[in-house]
Amino acid sequence: MLSSFSTSSSYPRRRVSRKPNKALDSRFHGNDCIGGQESSFFLNCKLLSKKTIRTIVFAILMSTGIGGMAWADESASASRPNPRNPWPALLQQADTLGLPTEFLSHIDPLFVSITFEDLRTYAAEYHPEDHRMILNMRLSFNEAGGALADLARMTHHDLALLYHELLHAYLDYLYADQHPTPPIPADQQVLNFANSQMACHYRFVRINPIRQLKGATELRFLSNQDSWEVMNETWAVFVGWVLWTKLELFEGQLTNSQWTPELTTQWTERLKKAVESGELLGYYEPDDPEERRVARKRFIAPSNGLTPQDVEHLLTQVLHELPEIVEASKAVFEKYQTSLEPPPSCE
């Protein structure tokens, strides 16, 4: 799911199906899941799960043909993307701009199908049950619905939201029922860590029934689906924040960018503010229909938000940030945790 944006820049979100149970259970090794607040940038995003995801995406630069539209041949390049297989062009453009591409290169190029529709109210939809993304026509080249929009023309905000969605697609791929080959070691590490976090930290949680009252919490033992959803959303929110903040600090010039002590300090200060404001907290839509009648969505309390271990894995295994940025980021979360009540014990 996505949290809310500032009212000046957000789009209404729409519901999409959640990931089927069997897709989750096939990776839980038979052990029952072993394994925002308004801010300068954000809005949390909605996730990949069996129930629907509302996705706020100002730009996800992928494309596929609509109504039979396609290029004459199957080749693709950054300047001439193939609507039936937009992934290569996406990777080429992202790499040219210095954006993270390694984790995206692990996804089968044909895994995610993308179409364009005239979504008058919504920016995008993602359907994990069939790995399908529907984008607003305005996100296509010349708003024609047949080709990839130019990544270099997107705002920092757009790119951050794109990577929020791409993180969902990556986790969707890791948890897919069938793969032609076993996961590579790096992907297996992410998968193992995700399962371990869903076994406890994102399973027995505190929520904020009223989001504005952070001190008022209730305990919940989440279902497989809800645990999956809140973890995915929390991770995707952080990945989007990382991309947006880097683009802001380096003024969009990530190619050959170098961290200086001053930039590292600015990064740390921005991260502190995001953590303390609740901007990086995810939420889920209750799997239980009875609870859903009471509240359509439940916001996770700070005690069960991102952990230093989450931050380390995402920055290291997924985004491949420098060690000094990883350590500085972990330190922010470690210090913040000292001011919180500990998460509920799973024992």
Alpha helix positions (H), the chain: 21-25, 87-96, 102-105, 156-174, 185-199, 224-249, 261-277, 289-294, 308-313, 323-337
Q: Which domain holds residue 172?
A: 21-337
- For residue 309, tell me if it sits in a domain: yes
Encode 47-76 in three state secondary structure: CCCECCEEECCCCCCCCCCCCCCCCCCCCC
- Helix pair 261-277, 224-249: axis angle to 10 deg: 140
Q: Which residue has the higher pLDDT, 275 or 41?
A: 275
- For residue 4, tell me if it sits in a domain: no
- For residue 231, tell me if it sits in a domain: yes
No. of H helices and E strands in the chain?
A: 10, 8
User: What is the rounded average pLDDT of the residues 43-55?
Assistant: 42
- For residue 238, tell me if it sits in a domain: yes
What is the tens place of the pLDDT at every residue in 228-258? 999 999 999 999 999 999 999 999 999 989 9
User: What is the rounded average pLDDT of the residues 87-110?
Assistant: 92
Per-residue model confidence (pLDDT) at position 121: 58
- Helix pair 156-174, 185-199: axis angle to 10 deg: 90
- For residue 6, tell me if it sits in a domain: no
- Check if the beta carbon of residue 54 is closer than 8 Å to that of residue 240: no
What is the tens place of the pLDDT at every residue in 130-177? 888 777 776 677 777 777 678 898 889 878 877 888 898 899 999 988
- For residue 260, tell me if it sits in a domain: yes
- For residue 343, tell me if it sits in a domain: no
| Domain count within the chain | 1
Q: Quickly state the pLDDT bin for 210 (edges 50, 70, 90).
A: confident
Judged against a pLDDT cut of 90, whether residue 182 lies above it is answered with: no
- For residue 26, tell me if it sits in a domain: yes
